[in-house]
Structure 1
């Protein structure tokens, strides 16, 4: 199946997928790229016991290995009207219908203090998640600063508050894709050794989506070339989304004969 690639800015390009001639059952070593990749396995494996590994080492390993990750730029407001803005990279979509997303809120190092974002969500039940694009990543990044409570992140960021439709917390005007969310459920995750809550998983129901018309393609989907979303890696490393490729979905109807031939040959070898 051929794809008609849309024209895109120079900062983003569509390309052919890796190993585009792969076929069912073919080993990775069948291509030079695959053989080169598997050469690394000769160096062996490091096996980490997650139940005994140092917490900081485990954190670093996980955030660098589970990557890239989308970033939730969360706007909340306290019961007293204090507004908070914070980035979270432990974030993702849970389901499309009903539309639900998740944010993982880790407590302070000594597990004694929950973050303002979690406290505000629990109290007011509403928040917005604003997807970060490359032109304003510095504005968002500064909101992770360990500033005292009397210093607001909105002031530091230079970003613009835009009223929401359903929740009290404002959305970020600079974000080309924002979601107004209502608290669905919180799930406390305890430290297995002490039973002290170390992290709380927030599930939010998406009530309204605000998406800029100029980042949509003719099918009503977000065009990554125009959206320029930012991805999170390990440590202080972020990623630029500069290239994309299509991979067709396989269907049984289209490939049944070939797969049955492959299955038959495999059983005859046993």
Structure 2
């Protein structure tokens, strides 16, 4: 596969949504793009029984279909004071109150990851940092299969910044970082084999650090300045391309239109 050079001056743009004229009850096939999309359905479906599929094939399939995924760049510290840094793309927000995020660490056949061990056993807390385009190679380097106890900071070229509330360092290059305490660590046990395959970490966010230059006039993160990176399938990553704004409907404002659309179908 030949690759084009990375476009360093690319800027995300805000556009209209794909079908600005859509109305309640309107079929997907009513637009040219929708018809083209639904034409693919004629090619049929592939259905997979997960109980009978190879686990690595399931892994590669699921990470290619469940996209894009945000990436948690997790900094932890062991009981002995050894620091660890690793990216996890099984990550997302859980709730805003209490402020909580989650990430999942897969357990290898021979040992659990340093991140899992440190989160469970260290009392120092940990940080979750968001990765932006300018240092994605630095972050990717920390995913190396290093031996236990190795400090990935040393090879990353990234900068440690002391946290306010936890012992683990923040990543200076990250424009959005969260200091966290362990809320709960849930070992995922396969219901058929009893194997402990993953650990789901629920993290209570105690402090959030945001660089002022990535905030907009409303005090929210401006993605065109933030340049967050998303994880796709295989070894593929993505930047945020053009984005569109789509207001969420409210029943108070839309009830009459909804009911009219329903009655027209009867």
TM-score range, shorter chain: over 0.9
1:51-66 equivalence runs, <5 A: 51-66=51-66
For 1:219 and 1:141, locate their aligned partners in 2 and report how far apart those are by CA, in whole Å. Answer: 32
Q: Does 1:122 align with 2:120?
A: yes
Of 244-253 and 134-143, deviating more is 244-253
CA distance in 2, matches of 1:192, 1:69: 26
**What is the SS of the residue equivalent to 2:142?**
helix
SS at 2:61's partner residue? helix
Aligned-partner SS, 1:63? helix
In 1, Cα distance between equivalents of 2:145 and 2:186: 25
| 1:100 corresponds to | 100
Written as runs of structure 1 = structure 2, the 5 A alignment for 1:30-45 is 30-45=30-45
The residue that corresponds to 1:239 in the other structure is 238
In structure 2, C-alpha distance between the alignment counterparts of 1:164 and 1:187, rounded to whole Å: 26
Is there any run of 5+ residues in structure 1 with no aligned partner, and where?
1-8
Deviation at 1:16, TM superposition (A): 1.1
Once the two structures are superposed, what CA deviation does each residue of 1:169-199 show, in whole Å capped at 9, x if it has no partner?
A: 0000000000000000011111223212111
- Name the counterpart of 1:134: 133
User: Which runs of structure 2 are paired with 1:1-270 in the superposition (5 Å)?
Assistant: 10-108=10-108, 110=109, 112-125=110-123, 126-149=125-148, 151-267=150-266
- Per-residue CA shift, 1:6-39, capped at 9, x if unaligned? xxx7521111110111110000110000000001
Equivalent residues of 2:127, 2:168 under 8 A apart: yes
**TM-score, normalised relative to structure 2:** 0.94
Q: Contact 2:77 / 2:122 at 8 angstroms: preserved in 1?
A: yes
**1 CA distance for matches of 2:149 and 2:113?**
15
Alignment partners' CA distance in 2, 1:255 and 1:70: 33
Native 8 Å contact 2:25 2:262 kept in 1: no
Secondary structure of 2:95's aligned partner:
strand
Distance of 1:147 and 1:10 partners within structure 2: 34
Match of residue 6 from structure 1: none
Which residue does 1:3 correspond to in 2?
none
Deviation at 1:150, TM superposition (A): 5.6
Map Cα deviations across residues 58-82 of structure 1 (whole Å, 9 max, x no partner).
Answer: 0011101000000000000000000
